[in-house]
Each structure stands twice: as structure tokens, then as C-alpha cells.
Structure 1
Amino acid sequence: MAAVLSPRNAAENALISEALATFAIELRLDDVPGAVVERAKLHMLDALGVALASSTEEFAHRIVNALAGLAGRGDYPVIGFPCKLPIRDAVLANGALVHGIDFDDTHSAGVIHVSASALPMALAATQSIGGSGKDILLAYLICVETASRIAIAAKGGFHVNGFHPTGMVAAFGAVLAVGRMWGLAERELTHAQGLVLSMASGSFEFIEDGAWNKRLHPGWAVGAAMTACTLARAGVIGARKTYEGRYGLFNSYLGDSWKPNLSACTSGLGVAWEMLDVALKPYPVCHFNHAFIDAALALRKAHSIAPEEIESVQALIGKDQIGIVCEPEANKRRPQNPYDARFSLPFAIAVALIHGRLTMDEIADATIHDPRVLDLCDRTTYTIDDKSAYPRHYSGALLIRMRDGRSLTWREEINRGSSAKPLTQADVLEKFRQTASRALPAAKVEQMIRAILDLESVTSVEDFVSALGPRRLA
């Protein structure tokens, strides 16, 4: 029988933390519809490919080398690297790898990158108990289902108030999944959520200057979850009103002016599956840019646009997205580094119009200093889109005025990759081949595809995670 919150259970577990603990403890993989499990495997494969691509980047080597120097050797693999680290350092590194190039999935309504925490957590927590591939899937799904709901409850408010839900909220999904894997009792798991409330973090200040803080958020959330579970299992008492309390998650981080939908935290658990609403990324930039990239590519193709013939570009964007990809305008028109460029709407539009694509190869120093790109950035402005579907969908519309007097428009109501406009399995496999092949030979890439798609058959998780593709430390 599925782990559904019945009226009886809901009454007995009046607190959100208790209801979530009940769900995490009672859910079985057999309760989960096959389509949800299959989708989960595709998202795990996608996250693994992104992590492997990240392993070739400078930031990854700096982070992994730093952690290896601090922590010393451990038993837990780092994706794409030959070293093994202690468990909390390994999940910090692996979270940075999945999230580090902003090519990982996003739960649209929750505006949270769920796999960046869920995959590193599931691999490490399952290895720690000598579990199986089925345990990896179960841990991953518990994290996705709970973290997504908690993020949905905020109604986009964390971003508006300067907090990154991929760090803040993922800690709670991770603590529930880790607690389940480690066999915590319901009371202990309730306390663990209260403890991780004091550890969850994620400031958006990185957005001001292209800093690397964001890359560390998801893995830090998992490490905090593991610490909280360890303490709770030892009898350390945590706050019970983790979410709805006077100083709980929502009141502390949303303030008085932004009212959360608290019922969303537990609504539909075990019946409706948020896994199916997680969007995959076709482009390695902030998800808020994607509809505009598709609009730019569509206009370029339909009208054979030459960039030098463009007088101006105006983007119509939801007001709550502006602070991430549009402002400060001067900064967004001059990204300070390739990472900063991933959060610039003018840059994304300009690259798409000039190059006819936006891949990892375009996120480079040469592109952010290209005079053609910068010139078009200067001709790009934005206005508030009153018809935006955000946060349900990340809509985008462009109005391009040409020097010959033409006005060209295109609107993408639903961002490609979302549940309403999903990438196919073939799309996901092709993306994985492109990302993973940056670190691995083709034969190993295909081997990993087969292993993930048949994850239920994996019996030795330690062998599985140890084969995630070694690279030499820089």
C-alpha cells in the first residue's frame, strides 16, 4: 500500500515535520508508479553527466583539492576524480559538481535544483548502509518529493528575499531521506528536521559579482542533513515546529509580507508525484533564460536575422525573475566571468542571436569579451511581463526592432524541458553523451547509461559509485 497521508495519520501528525517524517519512513519503492521511477532514473543520469562535465572545469579542481587537503582520505568517491573523501566532504564536492555549471534540473514551481542535492545524498547515504540500487532510487525520490513541496510552499518567496532554496530547502529533503536510509525513528527524524533548520543556508549575494558560493549550496545542505541525523539519532533534541513555528523556516526567511502555502508541504504525498514536474535543462545557464534563448533562436531562423541589422531587443520577463538575470543592468550587460554570464539574460539572448546556439562552449572568456556580444547586450532591455506564468512556467517573450523598421516578436509560454514541454528520453541520452564525454571515453559513457537505466539491478552500490569515472587531480 502506498505511503499516503490518510486523515487519521494527518490528525495524529498535526505538525508538518511529523507528517513528512511519517511519509519518509513509510514510503516503499514498490509504492511509486513505474513512470515516476523511470523519470527519476533519467534525471539521475542527467545530473551525473553534468557532474562529469563539471569535473573538467577549474572550479571543480579547486574545490576537490581544497577538501582533500582539509579532510584527508575517506571512503566516498568524488564523481570524475580518483580521490575518496569522508562522507560529508564527498557530498559537498559532488553537490558542487552537479550544480556547478548550472546545467542541472529545476523543479519549476519550487524554483529549486533538486537533483544537485538528491543524487549526491542518495549515493552516499546508500553506500553508508551497504544498500542497493533500489535504495538509491528510494532515497533520491524521498528527497525530491519532500524538498519540492517545501519549496512550492514558499511561492517563489525565497528568491525574492535573497535566499537560495537549492541550499535552504534541500537540507530538509536530504535530512528526511538520510534519516530513512539510516533507520531513524519518527521522533528522531522530527528532531533532525528541527536541527537542520539551524544549519540550512544559501545567500543570493553571489549573484552580484559572479562568485562561486552557489556551487557549494546543495552539497552543504546534504552535509548538514547528515550531521543533523547523526545528532538526532544520538538523542539531541531539535525544534518541532520546523516549518510553521514563530521562528520556523517560512517566518524567518520570508518575513511578514510573504505568506506561504503551508498545506503544500504535505499535500498529495504518496499520490501526486512532484518528480514529474522537475524540468531538465537544454541550455547550461539559469533556467530563467531558457524561454528567451528558444525565442531568439526561433526568430533568428524564421527571419534570417543578422545581428548587425538589429536596432534593439526587448525581453518581457516576470517581475520576480528580474533580480536574478536582469539587474543590475550594467552588470548583466558585462558579465565578470563565465559563471556570472550564466545569470545574464542580455548575454544569453545575444549569444543565441549571434551564434545560433548556446552550449557549454559558448560559456567562455572569449565569448563574454566578444565585442559583437557586448554590443548586442547594450541594445537589450527588459520590461515586466504581466502575462508571465512564473513560477509554474518560466515564460519568455522577445520584441526585436530591426534597422529596416520591422518589429519581430516571439513568445515561449512554456520553457522547454518542463513537464508541459518535456525533453524526451532520446534528448536526455544525447545530452548525457555530450556532457559525460567531456570526461570519459565513449565506451564508458554507454556503460554508465546502461547502469543507471537498470539501477534496480545494482546490488553493490560501493562498486557502482566507485566506477563513476576517475580523473587526475590537478
Structure 2
Amino acid sequence: MVGLQFEDLSPEAVREAKRCMLDTLGVQVRGATLPWVQPVYRYVRSVGGNEEATVTYHGDRLGAPYAAYVNSTFSYSCELQHHGSYGSAHTGVIVIPTLQALGEKLGSTGRSLIAAMVAGYEVQGRLGMALFKPASQRHFHPQGLLGVFSAAAAAGKLLGLDAEQQAHAFAIAGSHASSILEYDQAGGEVKRIHGAIALRSGIQSAYLAKEGLTGPLTVFEGRRGIFASFGGGEVAPELPLSQIGRPYCITRCRFRIYPTIGSCHAALDIVNDLMKKHSFDYRDVECIRVGMPEFSVTHVTTVTRPHDVMTAQASLGFSLGLLLVKGSNDLELYIDRALWQDPEVLSVADKLQAYVVADESHPQMARVEVRLKGGRLLEGEQEDARGTEMSPFSDEVMEAKFRRLAVSLPGDQAEHVIHTVARMEEMTSMSQLVPLLQRRSNR
């Protein structure tokens, strides 16, 4: 990763880097306006720091790690962020805010930012190949576990670390790695800062390595290293190093249109299709059986009665209720507290019957049976959700999503963001993009 240059990248990697950037910036702008992440914004304003980087939408100038911290929180605020290659968790909410802040501070070019993006996604994606499943089974959230390393990689690229320094950055980052999954059982909005915690530690690790601090270079494979600590005896340590860049992990991202935990998405796709094809009413539904891999069942079917936005977004039953009763899964519906107790929505949620399907090769698959009163059975199955490499969204869909999320930007700034990101390799510095993301036009 240290020697990776823009010129080394495939056209597909460059294209997907731009799509990831646009996707993250859209969620970031929308997230900056959401009430449940404002405590984080107030916190970073209180600590401030040198005026090195800009808070998206609000325009505050803070120390780069704090600007990155709050921009990451905005990016992870509403479950519309993309997922990296399977197993890597939500790489964009870590790597992109890291590069926004450090790129602005250091005056990095668009080409150097793209190369650093690809490096960060590659590190997190490849570690995820080995760690995602065993760590998740031990109830660790891979976002915080893996993200310290992708942030250290991205920051290290912009800081110009050599191979030895980068190795020590990873070794230092290992002492920061963790986060837990209990949010999908009991709620709370702390998940929104899992990426922020990781990137702050990753940035710090890169700077400390640059200054000469050292760490255990067996951080991954050592007797008490990351693989042993979080993966037990189930980690295949050779996986992260096999066929690096073939293809690049950034070309295998999973984009979203539903503001829910990703394990809900394939089932929502199927029910959406069944509704359009058969035009049934939610009052006609007797039960909805959904088969998914074990992790998905645990991840999104525990909660049936939301008490905050996080539990609403972590509930497949509630999401099916919104879709069948309200005809939509728009973000605004998850925010509406009245709907958390809506008897019609909850009556559908109670009709969900989830069961485990043993399908190791398709970890995000879903099999749905909607049984109507009178005995009619509607069925569907998907190996994965739409928006993945199996069924990718077009650039037009991605741009439309950005426009919806960035509607609060004044004038034609949203269009200028789309135009600038599409030509990101031509940017001479991050300062060309930063003003376009503010609620007060600085153009």
C-alpha cells in the first residue's frame, strides 16, 4: 500500500472511488442536520483545536482529527452509508472523512486522495476477509475493529509514511481496535460514532509512527495479536495477503437506498417486488416468513418495538411494517416517533417469522414467503441486495440519491459537488470541494 500511486489504479477503481466519495458526502450533508448526532457536533466545537479542517455543512474550522471525527459521525448517522466489500463494514465513513480533513490540512491533490482511498478500502476489506465472521460471532462490531487500520493506512498515505513507519502505524492502531454490537439489541445512538472513534485512533497512530513511536510488528498474527484476540482459532491469516488489488476491494462496495441495517435489504427488495407484482394490502397478510443466515437473523430481528431511531433501523419487522402500511422506507418514517408505536405498523412487525438459512456463500441473502389470508402464498429469494456488484446501481441512481440527501445545500451547490467529484483526479487541492459542502455558499 505504501507504494501505491494513482497511475497504478484500474479505471474501475478510480470510478468506484468517485462513487464512494459522492455517496459518503451526500449522507454527510444530510447527517449534519439530524438531531441525534448533534451532541457530537457540540462536543467537537467545545474542544476545537487548531483551525486545520472544516466541518461539513456547518463550516466550523477545527483541528483535523476533530473535523474528521464529526464528519464521520454525520456520514454514519442514518444507515444510508455504503458498505465496503463484504466483511469490511462501512469503510467510507472512516476513510473519506479522514482524507477530507487531512487532505484539507495538507493541501493534497485529487489524485493523491484517490490513491489513499483505494489503499484504505483495501486494508479494511482484506482484514475483513479474515476477521468479520469470527469477530461478529464474538459480538464485536467490525467497524471499530477494522477501521483503525484503514484510517491509519489512508492517513499514512497522505503523510508520506515509509514502509517501516506504516507498519508501526498499524502496530500502534492495534491497541485501539474494538467496538461492540449491543446497539442492535438495545439501541442507543453510539453506533454513529464507531467509525469516528476508529478514524481518530487511526489518524493518531499514523502521526505517532511518523514521529517515531513503535509498536509490536506482529500486531496481526502474533500470539496475542488481532487475529488471536478477535478471531480465536478461526482466522485464516493468509487471506488478507492473497491477490491484493485483484480486484481492488473498492470495486466491490455495496450501496444502499434503504436507511436500515444492511441485513434487512434483500428482504425489503423482495417484498417491494411482491407488492408491485401482486398488489396486496397489508391487512391481507397472515404471516411473513423470512429466512436469512444466522448473523442476519440475530442482527435485525431481535427488536420489534423501536424506542429510538437506531432500534427502528435495526428492526426488519418494523421496516416491513413501514413498507406494507406506508408504502415506503423513507428516512423520515424512521424518524417519526409516532410510527414507533403505530398499531398498524406494529401489527405487520408481529407477523414476521424469521428463521436461519445455512448459506455460507451468500451471507446477505434472503428467502421470503408472504402468506395471505385465504392461503395464497407469495415467494421470492435473492442472493444479495440491490446496489451490490451483482446488481449495481447506475450513476444516475447514485446522483439522484445524492441530490435527495443534499437538498439543504443552497442554490446549485449540489450539482457543483457532483461535477467536482466526477473530475476528482483534476482537483489541485481539497479546498476546491470543501466550500461546496457548506450551508452558506462560499463560491
Alignment correspondent of 1:322: 297
Q: Deviations over 1:214-236 (max 9, x none)?
A: 11111221111121122212221
Alignment correspondent of 1:211: 188
Q: Give, in whole Å, the separation in 2 of the partners of 1:82 and 1:125.
A: 16
Alignment correspondent of 1:378: 350
RMSD: 1.7
Kindly indicate whether the alpha-carbon contact (under 8 Å) linking 1:389 and 1:395 is maintained by their aligned counterparts in 2. no
Kindly indicate whether the alpha-carbon contact (under 8 Å) linking 1:200 and 1:221 is maintained by their aligned counterparts in 2. yes
SS in 2 for 1:411: strand
Alignment correspondent of 2:402: 432
Which sections of structure 2, spanning at least 5 residues, go unmatched?
none
Asked if 1:291 corresponds to 2:266, the answer is yes
Kindly indicate whether the alpha-carbon contact (under 8 Å) linking 1:41 and 1:453 is maintained by their aligned counterparts in 2. yes
Q: Residue 304 of structure 2 is aligned with which of 321, 333, 337?
A: 333
Asked if 1:348 corresponds to 2:319, the answer is yes
Q: Residue 206 of structure 2 is aligned with which of 214, 229, 234?
A: 229
SS in 1 for 2:164: helix
Which of 1 and 2 has higher RCO (CA within 8 Å, sep 6+)? Answer: 1
Q: Give, in whole Å, the separation in 2 of the partners of 1:386 and 1:185.
A: 44
Q: Give, in whole Å, the separation in 2 of the partners of 1:196 and 1:181.
A: 17
* Shift in Å, 1:155: 4.8
Amino acid of the structure 2 residue aligned with 1:51: Q
Alignment correspondent of 1:460: 429
Alignment correspondent of 1:15: none
* Shift in Å, 1:95: 0.8
Amino acid of the structure 2 residue aligned with 1:451: T
* Shift in Å, 1:48: 0.3
Amino acid of the structure 2 residue aligned with 1:323: T
Alignment correspondent of 1:239: 216
Q: Residue 186 of structure 1 is aligned with which of 156, 160, 163?
A: 163
Amino acid of the structure 2 residue aligned with 1:414: D
Amino acid of the structure 2 residue aligned with 1:200: A
Q: Give, in whole Å, the separation in 2 of the partners of 1:208 and 1:384.
A: 18
Alignment correspondent of 1:119: 96
Alignment correspondent of 1:360: 331
Alignment correspondent of 2:48: 71
Q: Deviations over 1:327-366 (max 9, x none)?
A: 2xxxx11011122111111111221222222111221213
> Sequence identity of aligned pairs in percent?
25
SS in 2 for 1:97: helix
Identify if the C-alpha distance between structure 1 residues 73 and 59 changes in structure 2 by more than 3 Å, giving closer, same or farther.
farther
Stretch moving more, 462-471 or 281-290:
462-471
How many positions carry a matched residue from both structures? 440
Q: Give, in whole Å, the separation in 2 of the partners of 1:112 and 1:448.
A: 26
Alignment correspondent of 2:288: 313
Asked if 1:413 corresponds to 2:359, the answer is no
Kindly indicate whether the alpha-carbon contact (under 8 Å) linking 1:105 and 1:281 is maintained by their aligned counterparts in 2. yes
Asked if 1:300 corresponds to 2:302, the answer is no
* Shift in Å, 1:442: 5.0
Q: How does 1:61-210 map to 2 (within 5 A)?
A: 61-71=38-48, 74-210=51-187
Q: Give, in whole Å, the separation in 1 of the partners of 2:331 and 2:64.
A: 30
Asked if 1:264 corresponds to 2:236, the answer is no
Alignment correspondent of 2:27: 50
* Shift in Å, 1:470: 3.2
Identify if the C-alpha distance between structure 1 residues 111 and 381 changes in structure 2 by more than 3 Å, giving closer, same or farther.
farther
Q: Residue 402 of structure 1 is aligned with which of 356, 361, 372?
A: 372
Amino acid of the structure 2 residue aligned with 1:299: L
Q: Give, in whole Å, the separation in 1 of the partners of 2:321 and 2:411.
A: 33
